[in-house]
Each structure stands twice: as C-alpha cells, then as structure tokens.
Amino acid sequence: MTGRTFLSPAKINLCLHVLGRREDGYHELAMAMQRVDLCDHIRIRLGGAAGIRVACAAVALAAGEENIVAKAARLILCEAESVVGVEIEVEKQIPVAAGLGGGSSNAATVLMALDELLDLQLGKERLMALGGQLGADVPFFVFAAPAWATGVGTQLEKLPNLPSVAYLLINPGIAVSTAWVYQSLRLTKGGELANLPWFSVATKSELCAALHNDLEQVTLERYPLLVEIKQLLLAQGALGALMSGSGATVFGVFRDFAEASHAGVELARGNDWLISPVRPL
C-alpha cells in the first residue's frame, strides 16, 4: 500500500485518580499523561472507490461503526463534506487492551492526518472536539503534549517542566478490559478535584513520589504477576514503577535510556513479555 505513513504514539499515566462516578455513568478523573515513542505506523492513501477501508494484519479490527479508526475517518469526511475514498493500514507495535491508549492514539492520528492530507486546516481545538466524540483519551493525543486531564479525561492543561527520564514498558501479554476494571473499582474518594495537588514535578524523585494509579487496586489483585513485575523493575534499578491506565502494562522510571535498555535486556531473560525501553515525547 502506497501513501503517507504517520506515527501513532502510546501514552502512559503518571498518575490516575478516580474521583467518583458521574450521573451519566462515566467516571470523574484527574490524570497526568505523557506520550512515549512506542508507535504504531498508520499508512493512509486517498483515492479509489468511495468509502473507508481499514486493514490491520496483527489485530482483528471490528468492522464498520465498531472500528474507532474508521469512525475517525468518517468524522473527518463528514466535516469536509467529502466522499473521497480512504484506505488505512494500521501496523501495530502498541499492544491492544494494555493501558497504553493505542486505539485512541490511532483515532487521533487519523483525524490529524486526514486534516493535513485534505488541507482542511480545522485547527487543534476542533480536532480535539471531534476526538472527544470517539473516546475520552483521543483529545489528549491531538493535544500532543504532556497533560493534566480532568473531567472524563478530556479537559486538558499542559504539564510543564517534566524531568528528563526514560521508561521501560513491560506487558506480559494479558489483555485487560477497561470497562471491567471501572465496574470492579471500589470508590473511596470524595470526588473533589480541589483537594488534589496539582501534578507539579521538576525532579526525578518528585516524579516518582507522585506516581499513583487508583485502578491498580483492581487489576493487580486479579493479576498478581503485575505486582511481581513492578518489584522486578525496582530490583533492576527503576526509580519508581506503576501500572499504566487500566493495565496490564507496567512501566519503570529510569534515569536515562541506557539504563532502561539495560534493565530491559536483563528482564527479557527467560520471559516472553513485550519489553520496550522508551523515551517521553
């Protein structure tokens, strides 16, 4: 397939607070999120027969309305009042159902790519609004900067001055349902955002002290292997370790990419996990 190729990065949650359940069924959140350079590759070609065609060799993508990538393309074509044919091929590097936002990132990448290819010049705010129709994490990937996210995750403020670190991502091949995690969550917080400190970290030690994920109480209880992986990361020199999103990916914070890479080599011995040293974006 010819056409343009776009990078679609993963994200990690440096902290994730669940403040309560809303009347609409969604949860009120406060999160610090950062993109990392583990990326899917998305090739897009315009032309040919009208319609949207999505292919992904590694994953059985749902057809039609169930496919978030196709939905993103359809939103943009409706915005442009265009019937141009769109062919999209997704080459997956980000594991699915892993707490890394792969599907949301793919959708955001398609929104931004088609905006560019069709020369629509919709602007970031409009693209973020369209992304919010697809999923709560999609606007963050359009925002394209480290962010403090509140509400259902779509109200974004840029996080300045994050320390220079590297991360080691480990996914043991467990697919976790985000819906199941939230349904199983035992809420203990009062739900007031004002009572939470702003995620202000300037040093590596401050970053590690701020690591927090309310969803760990559900996923780690169900999958104790993730507790072991956190301990292994710390034993390999990680300054801190945390589960990202609803899991099952766990990441360690390292001083630099070389240290993260060395730990990855050590932890790969005898394990068939997906292990990726990454840099923040």
DSSP sequence for 103-122: HHHHHHHHHHHHHHHTT---
Burial 169-194 (b: 16+ CB within 10 A, else e): bbbbebebebeebbeebeeeeeeeee
Residues in the chain: 281
Instruction: Give the separation between CA 264 and CA 260, rounded to whole angstroms.
Output: 6
| Residue position matching structure tokens 């007031």 | 192
- Active-site residue among 11, 115, 214, 230? 11
Instruction: Give the separation between CA 214 and CA 59, rounded to whole angstroms.
Output: 29
Instruction: Give the separation between CA 131 and CA 108, rounded to whole angstroms.
Output: 6
Q: Which H or E run includes 216?
A: helix 216-222
- Active-site residue among 40, 71, 115, 137? 137
Instruction: Give the separation between CA 195 and CA 191, rounded to whole angstroms.
Output: 9
Cα-based torsion angle of the residue sequence 220, 272, 105, 141 in order, rounded to the nearest 10 degrees? 70
137 is an active site residue: yes
Three-class DSSP category at 276 = strand
Q: Which residues are catalytic?
A: 11, 137
